[in-house]
Structure 1
Amino acid sequence: MMHFDLLATLYSCFIFAFPLASVLAQSPSSGSPVLTPEIDAFINGLLSDWNSPGGLSVAVVRKADNGTWDVETKGYGLAKADGTNVTERTLFSVGSNSKLFTALATGLLVANQSLEPSISWDTKIKNIIPGWGLTDPVANEEAAIVDLMSHRTGMPRHDFVASLAANMTDVIQKFRFLKPSAEFRQTFQYTNIMYTLLSYIPASVLPSRPSFTRYVKANIFDPLGMSSTTYSFDAANATGNLADGFKKQQLNSSASPFDSGIPRALPFWAQIGGEDGNSGSGPGGIISNAVDMASWLQVLLSGGQHPVTGESVIPAEVIQTVSSGVTIFTPSAQQPFLSPVVYGGGQFQSTYRGHVAAEHDGNVPGFNSFLSRFPFDGVGIAVLTNDDQLGSSISLAVKYHLADQALGLSPLDHKTIVGDALVTAFQSSPPPMQRPANATLPPNGIESLAGVYDDPAYGRIELCLAPTPTTMVAISPACEALLSNITTVLPGTVDLNSTIPTLLAKWDRPFGEYVRLTHFDESIFGLSIFNSYPTGNITAPFWTSPVVVSGPIAEFALDNGTLGFGMIGVWGSGDGVPELVGSTVRERSEVWFTKM
């Protein structure tokens, strides 16, 4: 779901989708095992050499000459902090591989001939979603289902706009206040929140008004026998098979992205909502295992048919539609063995070494997934990992290595290719801003900036001035609760002995709990977003992990006589999209908070 990761830099890839099973050609290696001792050694060696604290589960499916399926599933490495190993039934959050389910669930409604009035991929959102509205008048009037699912509305990510607890009506009301970063249908910009909106369509157009998650369960999971797959943390956790997501504390990635650090198990990122889900369900809420993902890959490769009974569960034309390119993700090949990449609905499409591929990755805190299918070869691959920092790279290298084996290709050294690209990406990360030695404080003093601010989309945020030897201000009960626990809950994020002014806020977003503004010069602050996680250690009960630390800024200014501040560098616009320009701070800000 979140893509504050290195995949785009690694291969600029996620490889992607195409027509259907009626044109399948058999893999050269069909019949012989893919998960050989050599593959086992490769995966175990990768986990060991890259100091991964977690593990992974894989599924490989191939259609045999007689029409049956060769299915292989296996687990590697650690599933839990208690030493439990990964098996093929270990449950992982699959992140943005949930988007294909959302697109196909929408397709089931498009194919529903009894629906009155009927909808199509070109149905305009304004006609089916009450409360819909966008700032861009063209996008507001013309945006259709196909535009939302292919990421071409002109909207950037805006991943920090809402909490998981926000109800759908409130989320939809926020859209009309969000700034776009490009013109409608101008460019590809990956946008999770549009899949949140797509997940509201079943409740909007069906008389029974089902929750999205229950609709998917009744119409996809249950008919396909995917009994382990769920949107519910409670249901997954009750099985005892849910993996811990791992992240490393004190990771010295500036020295090496493979630094060992201190492995920590993370709390599951989306625990609320139960069987009815939450605002993150549509873009990234599914929890599943290798066994169910093997079944899912067979369904996709069979044109929507149940792999055992042959019953049609998802119309073939729906799968073809979401697998057909609408927007351009990568206009030119990033490696000799890749091709340009396009995006449909929850699927990227390109070729790998001449083989058409339909693919997507998924990233949420603690977990990564990669699902690939090669429609003309009858091959599908799933890789599920629980390593927050290296999971994207591990799953990428493993997926390609498995593809070489399953497609009968001479293997490339993907461990070196991915590893070298990862090192290069880390080394090219921008350095943090260095505060000028003669920095000037804001014109009305730092104390004037503390207080409650509001943006009609992002909501309220209370900035609390951290105490320093030279600053102190009367604080609210909320700030008192936050600041009294700085050294415990946010260790290392604020130097209380420093004279550099710092503002802190509790934010409660799924990908960032805390905001820190560190004074740079005049009314400009460096902007960082953090999470705080428990350690299980009484003497040091929490540790902090940055989400956004280098590049973004916050700038304060008067707007029509009222104090406010803008965030710049956090909205996640697409590649090549220029920064906002304007004569005022508000005009060039991505989000503008007004002081209450």
Structure 2
Amino acid sequence: MVYRPLLTLYALLCSCLAMAASPTTPNLLNDDTETFINQLLAAWGSPGGVAVAVVRKDVENDAWLVETKGYGIAKINGSKVTENTLFGIASNSKLFTVAATGLLINNSTLSPRLSWTSKIASIIPGWGLVDPIASKQATILDAMSHRTGVPRHDLAYRETQDVTDIVAKMKYLPPSAEFRDVWQYSNTMYILLSSLPKLLLPSRTPFTRYVKEHIFDPLGMSATTYSYIKANASGLLADGLGRQGVDVRTDPFGKGMVRKLAFPATTGGEDGNSLAGPGGIISNAVDLATWLQTLLQNGVKPGTNETVIPADVLEKAASGISVWSPKAAFPELSPVVYGGGLGRSSYRGHELLEHGGNVPGYNSQISRLQNDNIGVAVLSNDNSYGGTIVDIIKCHILDTALGLEPIDWNARYKGIISQATSSAPVPAARPANASLPVGGLKALAGKYTHPAYGDFEFCPFPSSNNTAVKSCRALASAVPQSLPGAVNPAIPTFLVTVDSPWATHLRFAHFDQAVFNVSVLRSTPTGNATAPYWTFDPDEFTPRLAEFSDGGIGLRGFWGEGNEVPTPEGNTPRERAEVWLERARA
């Protein structure tokens, strides 16, 4: 039985919502919005641009108002962003991964049947984690809601590494928290989810082709792809743009020298690569407008009655399984809970479902007010502040769509970042009397290994120490050109070459005794013959260090733990390590 006054109230609400999104409603992406966005890009010194999609539904007439538009710079050559410009959407790929998992769960031909509470160990033979309880009990829900106890460990996997190999080596990734204790973002768990179609389907269909066949193609998202090769060949892929030579402590919004960033994962074509599940989709505003409409219609393709994604799958993704943020960031917001590839919270009293995305060079925000029939997607190619810019634009559009007094989110965020950059701790200078361990760099150089992170060849600089190892001699010869300015000749340093979506090298600069400061670096082509590379440091404010000791190296600042998760403590480098690299035997 339904109480009749509630039915009356519901009818009134539907009527109000229908009127709010009437086809006669003025466009949101109008001249005022264009002025706002262009001024915003200028205020943040953005070298790039944004693409925006806004969808609103007229419930009464079952009609959509769809708007898509581009603003600012798409490429290093100055070409402009349009509605068809392609961007990496990064972690907004995760909802597609959860949707694909839900389609497998709804597949009645699978035997045994899959469910959200299926134990991963029962699905993937030999799978496990360091924590024996998590190994036995972890489910699909645990993996997609980031509550397995395993942190990011983003430097453990390789772009070219086979997904099944990454999944098999998860049993060696040290946990930073107890099972189901805290929310800890983990791309690795979404790599795991991406292994399921090929593992479970008789056709052994690769994950990326499964998503294309069951989501992209049915929805007509023809420009959307996991293939960098396809996107780049179209000529529509935006360049990820960074800033070189900016001192953010004194000039946080300076442009510096605008540089094109290398795309984070280029291999695999339509079959994808290890980054596909957690963050591999490339899309544009036009296709994401279709995606937003589908989400607002609970999985039904716009303009049809065809269900592409079952409503129960999207509801599970939007459910509050874990606590993403226990405290509201601003008075107008709320705490955030997390389902799968989606956060659930409140924006100025309106329920908000959204997720952000960030990979080097690209940022995205895809948001919807399900009860208000409004969806907004904003894409950016500004590496430095794109994540903030897309959020400000989203909030501005929502304020306008809801008829609310606008909040000056731009001023709020600029104030926060100005304060954060001006007060950012300056790394401690190396002591004037710093001493190396007995034997110096030569005694510490060589190969170190970890069962999940793989092998690391520590090449010492000055390069006079590199004569013993061929790969180190080659690195020493290449560094002046490929990593300009990366090595201070006055500081004993190790360089390690890595095959990572996020880095090409790790730099270990000596601090004192057995302690080295660690930086994650990416050798990035410039397209300039006289200075063909620049050295990009994507995490310059992330403190990392290494402690050498007999038999190995303890790494700290590497695992990307959740909020308020304590760092390991102990009396030895091994006890204090987040990740322990064992010295390889000769």
| Secondary structure in 2 matching 1:579 | coil
Matches within 5 A, 1:20-169: 25-26=17-18, 28=20, 30=22, 31-64=25-58, 65-169=60-164
2:543 is matched with: 551
Task: Report which stretch shifted further, 253-262 or 72-81.
Answer: 253-262
Change (3 A) 1:402 1:581: same
1:583 is matched with: 571
Alignment check: 8 A CA contact 1:24 1:375 kept = no
Q: Over residues 298-330 of structure 1, what are the superposed CA-to-partner deviations in whole Å (9 max), with x where a residue is unaligned?
A: 000001001111211111111001101111111
Structure 1 residue 446: deviation in Å? 2.2
Q: State the alpha-carbon separation in 2 of the partners of residues 484 and 87 from structure 1.
A: 43
Change (3 A) 1:401 1:318: same
Work out whether 1:233 is the aligned partner of 2:228: yes
| Secondary structure in 2 matching 1:512 | coil
Q: Over residues 85-135 of structure 1, what are the superposed CA-to-partner deviations in whole Å (9 max), with x where a residue is unaligned?
A: 110010000000000000111011111222211011000000111331100
Matches within 5 A, 1:76-475: 76-467=71-462, 472-475=465-468
Q: State the alpha-carbon separation in 2 of the partners of residues 366 and 183 from structure 1.
A: 34
Q: Over residues 503-523 of structure 1, what are the superposed CA-to-partner deviations in whole Å (9 max), with x where a residue is unaligned?
A: 111112111111111111111
Structure 2: which amino acid aligns with 1:40? Answer: E
Alignment check: 8 A CA contact 1:97 1:346 kept = yes
Change (3 A) 1:93 1:304: same
1:14 is matched with: none
Q: State the alpha-carbon separation in 2 of the partners of residues 361 and 390 from structure 1.
A: 13
Structure 1 residue 429: deviation in Å? 2.6
Structure 1 residue 56: deviation in Å? 0.6
Structure 1 residue 83: deviation in Å? 2.1
Change (3 A) 1:206 1:164: same
Structure 1 residue 474: deviation in Å? 2.9
Select 2:561's aligned residue among 568, 573, 589. 573
Alignment check: 8 A CA contact 2:466 2:476 kept = no
Structure 1 residue 570: deviation in Å? 1.5
Structure 1 residue 240: deviation in Å? 1.4
Structure 1 residue 24: deviation in Å? 9.8
Task: Report which stretch shifted further, 548-557 or 354-363.
Answer: 548-557
| Secondary structure in 2 matching 1:139 | helix
TM-score (normalised: structure 2): 0.95
Structure 1 residue 26: deviation in Å? 4.0
Select 2:508's aligned residue among 517, 524, 527. 517
Alignment check: 8 A CA contact 1:26 1:376 kept = no
The alignment's C-alpha RMSD in Å is 1.6
Task: Report which stretch shifted further, 417-426 or 101-110.
Answer: 417-426
Q: State the alpha-carbon separation in 2 of the partners of residues 221 and 538 from structure 1.
A: 40
Q: State the alpha-carbon separation in 2 of the partners of residues 313 and 425 from structure 1.
A: 44
Select 1:483's aligned residue among 476, 479, 499. 476
* Bigger relative CO (Cα 8 Å, ≥ 6 apart): 1
2:533 is matched with: 542
Q: State the alpha-carbon separation in 2 of the partners of residues 351 and 24 from structure 1.
A: 20
1:8 is matched with: none
Alignment check: 8 A CA contact 1:27 1:62 kept = no
2:580 is matched with: 592
Q: State the alpha-carbon separation in 2 of the partners of residues 551 and 128 from structure 1.
A: 38
Structure 1: which amino acid aligns with 2:533? Answer: F
Structure 1 residue 409: deviation in Å? 1.3
Identity %, equivalent residues: 51
Q: State the alpha-carbon separation in 2 of the partners of residues 432 and 248 from structure 1.
A: 21
Structure 2: which amino acid aligns with 1:38? Answer: D
Q: Over residues 18-70 of structure 1, what are the superposed CA-to-partner deviations in whole Å (9 max), with x where a residue is unaligned?
A: xxx99994473642211121111000111122211111100000001411100
2:9 is matched with: none
1:504 is matched with: 495
Higher helix share: 2
Q: Over residues 153-209 of structure 1, what are the superposed CA-to-partner deviations in whole Å (9 max), with x where a residue is unaligned?
A: 000100000111000221112111110000000000011110000001111111111
Alignment check: 8 A CA contact 1:27 1:407 kept = no
2:3 is matched with: none
Change (3 A) 1:133 1:143: same
Alignment check: 8 A CA contact 1:23 1:376 kept = no
Q: State the alpha-carbon separation in 2 of the partners of residues 301 and 27 from structure 1.
A: 17
Q: State the alpha-carbon separation in 1 of the partners of residues 385 and 333 from structure 2.
A: 22
Select 1:493's aligned residue among 486, 490, 505. 486
Alignment check: 8 A CA contact 1:29 1:407 kept = no
Q: State the alpha-carbon separation in 2 of the partners of residues 378 and 92 from structure 1.
A: 25
Q: State the alpha-carbon separation in 2 of the partners of residues 423 and 33 from structure 1.
A: 34
1:5 is matched with: none
Structure 2: which amino acid aligns with 1:311? Answer: E
Q: State the alpha-carbon separation in 2 of the partners of residues 488 and 473 from structure 1.
A: 17
Number of aligned pairs? 568
Alignment check: 8 A CA contact 1:359 1:371 kept = yes
Q: State the alpha-carbon separation in 1 of the partners of residues 231 and 280 from structure 2.
A: 12
Q: State the alpha-carbon separation in 2 of the partners of residues 588 and 555 from structure 1.
A: 9
Structure 2: which amino acid aligns with 1:59? Answer: A
Select 1:528's aligned residue among 519, 528, 538. 519
| Secondary structure in 2 matching 1:419 | helix
Structure 2: which amino acid aligns with 1:342? Answer: V
| Secondary structure in 2 matching 1:75 | strand
Q: State the alpha-carbon separation in 2 of the partners of residues 38 and 212 from structure 1.
A: 42
| Secondary structure in 1 matching 2:209 | helix
Alignment check: 8 A CA contact 2:506 2:518 kept = yes
Structure 1 residue 583: deviation in Å? 3.1
Change (3 A) 1:412 1:476: same
Structure 1 residue 343: deviation in Å? 0.4
Structure 1: which amino acid aligns with 2:475? Answer: L
Structure 2: which amino acid aligns with 1:534? Answer: P
Alignment check: 8 A CA contact 1:433 1:526 kept = no
Structure 1 residue 434: deviation in Å? 2.0
Unaligned runs of 5+ in 1: 1-20
TM-score (normalised: structure 1): 0.93
Select 1:564's aligned residue among 549, 552, 575. 552
Q: State the alpha-carbon separation in 2 of the partners of residues 416 and 29 from structure 1.
A: 29
Unaligned runs of 5+ in 2: 1-12
Structure 1: which amino acid aligns with 2:114? Answer: I
Change (3 A) 1:473 1:534: closer
